[in-house]
């Protein structure tokens, strides 16, 4: 049975929303369990379908997973890895599955991982992952849609310069390097907070890592890693998304268990647009001090630049801005699929290659729209919250991959939103 979300727009959001652990930190953190035969305990793990998929993938590798449904704590123990193959049916459901490659190679000296294939937002190759592992001494062959990787004598530290800033390639190589012989330098490394969170967890497990959060990470290989407990950092994309929900509905929201320090570029763009964003003792308070907001140009960049995962959301709020906003997507080649859906709601957006010119309109009108990928789906929710009349969003399984209890959280703040069987 497919489900949709129905929203009647126009209600300002007021109240408090608790931000949970970051999906894009929890996923690599779960694969780090493969690096040791002892227990890795993760707390503040969000309840999302992507997390369940990762748990399923690790379990078929032989990882023992102790998790009570509905709890935010996972205990993972890879005492023995019984299977080093990551199959197509799981990898094709979630690209982040590629993150088992480095740990399996480092722990077992071999791995057979399905090539993730493309996805809605781009071709998303994994060449940087594979070339980096080759430089660490792995032998890599591609055949029948699978990556066949082996390092029978173990991995050896090396200087690896990544041609593009890649978040999961940085994470894969950093994890592989923790058990390599000697020193590895990752140059042009991703600086995302999720990379730093993973490094902190690996260090707690006994890894020797310096420079995480900068573009040059140094890992001194060790013989083994041990048990640790790690609290997943707050989700900066969830934080930015709900901040924009407050703004587009002319509301006033407190976001708890998060921090303004996680969203520096988002904050500066929203403040330029006329939003009032303040740090509070336990998080962030956001309200639209200017209504409508002022159009501001945005360009997505690797952290600490404006996050590509918030590009669709900022576009939603700019559709009803004063003036116009030029939004340029520099990370992925096809991340404007939300544009035609927003235009069905009355937005005025013109796309030229990797830039979208958003001319503000007085209001959006509710319509039937379709979610295409995770962040595009939540952009349509934001648009629906502000639109006049009723919006129905189909294919919302995309939403459940990255947003926990979204309707419940919005309902509690005054939104008229419900899930319906479509
Ligand atoms: C991570 O994906 C995130 N996923 C993405 O979030 C996020 O959009 C992206 O980083 C950018 O911030 C997770 O962390 C699980 P990249 P990742 O490698 O690592 C190219 C979401 O909505 N590239 O940093 O796959 C790539 O095509 C998801 O939560 C290569 O060319 O992204 C892209 O153009 C969507 N070769 C650029 O680099 C490679 O080997 C950056 O991609 C790897 C990447």
Tens digits of per-residue pLDDT, 355-395? 999 999 999 999 999 999 899 999 999 999 999 999 999 99
**Does residue 75 surpass a pLDDT of 90?**
yes
**Does residue 136 surpass a pLDDT of 80?**
yes
> In whole angstroms, what is the distance from residue 194 CA to residue 151 CA?
27
CB distance 33 to ligand 1 below 6 Å: no
Nearest ligand 1 atom, CA 50: 15
Q: Which of 87, 76, 74 is nearest to 48 (CA)?
A: 74
379 CB burial (10 A radius; 0-12, 13-18, 19+): buried
Please indicate, yes or no, whether the overall pTM of this predicted structure exceeds 0.95. yes
CB distance 309 to ligand 1 below 6 Å: yes
Nearest ligand 1 atom, CA 374: 22
CA distance between the termini of the chain: 8
Q: Which of 291, 244, 242, 245 is nearest to 270 (CA)?
A: 244
CB distance 402 to ligand 1 below 6 Å: yes
Q: Given ligand 1 and candidates 20, 166, 266, 337, which is best to mutate, with the most ligand atoms within 8 Å of its CB?
A: 166
Q: Which residues are catalytic?
A: 119
CB distance 167 to ligand 1 below 6 Å: yes
What's the order of all strands across the beta sheet hosting 283-288? 14-18, 252-256, 283-288, 275-280
**Does residue 127 surpass a pLDDT of 90?**
yes
The count of residues in the chain is 422
305: DSSP letter:
S
C-alpha distances out from residue 328 to 213, 315, 339, Å: 24, 10, 13
**Does residue 117 surpass a pLDDT of 80?**
no
CB distance 163 to ligand 1 below 6 Å: no
Q: Note whether 377 and 371 are within 8 A (CB).
A: yes
Q: 8 C-alpha vs ligand 1 centroid, how far in Å?
A: 34
Helix pair 236-248, 264-272: axis angle to 10 deg? 10
> In whole angstroms, what is the distance from residue 332 CA to residue 121 CA?
6
Is 315 strand, coil or helix?
A: helix
Residue pLDDT, tens place only, 286-334 = 998 888 999 999 999 999 999 999 999 999 999 999 999 999 999 998 8
Q: Note whether 287 and 275 are within 8 A (CB).
A: yes
Residue pLDDT, tens place only, 6-37 = 999 999 999 999 999 999 999 999 999 999 99
Mean pLDDT of 137-145: 96
Q: Given ligand 1 and candidates 21, 22, 23, 24, which is best to mutate, with the most ligand atoms within 8 Å of its CB?
A: 24
- Which residue's CA is minimally distant from atom 7 of ligand 1? 309
CB distance 141 to ligand 1 below 6 Å: no
pLDDT given at position 1: 61
CB within 8 A of 268, min separation 6: which ones? none
- Which segments of 61-210 does DSSP mark as H helices, in order? 88-91, 101-108, 127-135, 167-177, 193-204
Q: Given ligand 1 and candidates 331, 354, 373, 375, which is best to mutate, with the most ligand atoms within 8 Å of its CB?
A: 331
- Output the average pLDDT for the chain: 96
Residue pLDDT, tens place only, 252-277 = 999 999 999 999 999 999 999 999 99
**Does residue 53 surpass a pLDDT of 70?**
yes
- Which residue's CA is minimally distant from atom 39 of ligand 1? 126
Supply the DSSP string of 11-74, one letter for each residue. PPPEEEEE--B-HHHHHHHHHGGGG-SSEEEEES----HHHHHHHHHHHHTT-EEE--TT-S-E
- Which residue's CA is minimally distant from atom 14 of ligand 1? 24
Q: Note whether 387 and 345 are within 8 A (CB).
A: yes
Q: For residue 114, say if its preceding peptide bond is cis, omega within 30 degrees of 0.
A: no
Q: Using 50, 70 and 90 to split pLDDT, how confident is the model at 131?
A: very high
- Which residue's CA is minimally distant from atom 41 of ligand 1? 166
**Does residue 421 surpass a pLDDT of 90?**
no
Q: Note whether 197 and 22 are within 8 A (CB).
A: yes
82 CB burial (10 A radius; 0-12, 13-18, 19+): exposed
pLDDT given at position 403: 94
pLDDT given at position 183: 98
Classify 62 in phi/psi space as left (phi over 0), alpha (psi -120 to 50) or beta: left
CB distance 118 to ligand 1 below 6 Å: no
> In whole angstroms, what is the distance from residue 128 CA to residue 147 CA?
13
Q: 127 C-alpha vs ligand 1 centroid, how far in Å?
A: 12
Nearest ligand 1 atom, CA 128: 40
Q: 367 C-alpha vs ligand 1 centroid, how far in Å?
A: 31
CB distance 311 to ligand 1 below 6 Å: no
CB distance 408 to ligand 1 below 6 Å: no
**Does residue 239 surpass a pLDDT of 70?**
yes
């Amino acid at each position: 049975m497919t489900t949709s979300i129905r929203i009647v727009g126009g209600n300002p959001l007021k109240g408090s929303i608790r931000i949970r652990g970051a999906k894009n930190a929890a996923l690599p953190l779960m694969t780090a369990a493969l690096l040791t035969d002892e227990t890795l305990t993760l707390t503040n793990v969000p309840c999302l379908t992507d997390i369940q998929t990762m748990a399923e993938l690790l379990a078929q590798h032989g990882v023992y997973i102790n998790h009570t449904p509905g709890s935010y704590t996972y205990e993972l123990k890879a005492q023995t890895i019984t299977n080093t193959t990551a199959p197509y049916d799981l990898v094709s459901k979630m690209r982040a599955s590629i993150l088992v490659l480095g740990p399996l190679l480092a722990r077992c000296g071999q791995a057979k991982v399905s090539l993730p294939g493309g996805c809605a937002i781009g071709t998303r190759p994994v060449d940087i992952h594979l070339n980096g592992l080759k430089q660490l001494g792995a032998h890599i062959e591609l055949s029948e849609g699978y990556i066949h990787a082996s390092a029978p004598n173990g991995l050896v530290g090396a200087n690896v310069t990544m041609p593009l800033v890649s978040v999961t390639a940085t994470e894969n190589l950093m994890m592989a390097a923790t058990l390599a012989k000697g020193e590895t330098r990752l140059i042009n490394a991703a600086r995302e907070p999720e990379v730093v969170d993973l490094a902190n967890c690996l260090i707690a497990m006994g890894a020797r890592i310096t420079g995480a959060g900068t573009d040059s990470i140094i890992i001194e290989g060790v013989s083994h890693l041990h048990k640790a407990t790690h609290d997943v950092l707050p989700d900066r994309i969830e934080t930015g998304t709900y901040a924009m929900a407050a703004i587009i509905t002319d509301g006033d929201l407190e976001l708890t268990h998060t921090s303004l320090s996680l969203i520096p570029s988002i904050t500066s763009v929203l403040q330029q647009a006329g939003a009032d964003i303040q740090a509070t003792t336990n998080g962030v308070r956001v309200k639209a001090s200017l209504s409508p907001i002022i159009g501001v140009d945005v360009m997505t960049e690797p952290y600490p630049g404006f996050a590509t995962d918030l590009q669709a959301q900022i576009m939603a709020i700019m559709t009803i801005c004063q003036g116009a906003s030029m939004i340029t997507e520099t990370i992925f080649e096809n991340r404007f699929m939300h544009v035609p859906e927003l235009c069905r709601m009355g937005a005025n957006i013109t796309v030229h290659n990797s830039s979208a010119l958003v001319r503000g309109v007085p209001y959006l009108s509710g319509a039937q729209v379709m979610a295409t990928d995770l962040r595009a789906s939540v952009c349509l929710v934001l648009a629906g919250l502000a639109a006049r009349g009723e919006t129905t969003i189909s294919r919302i399984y995309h939403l459940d991959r990255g947003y926990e209890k979204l309707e419940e959280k919005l309902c509690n703040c005054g939104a008229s939103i419900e899930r319906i069987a479509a």
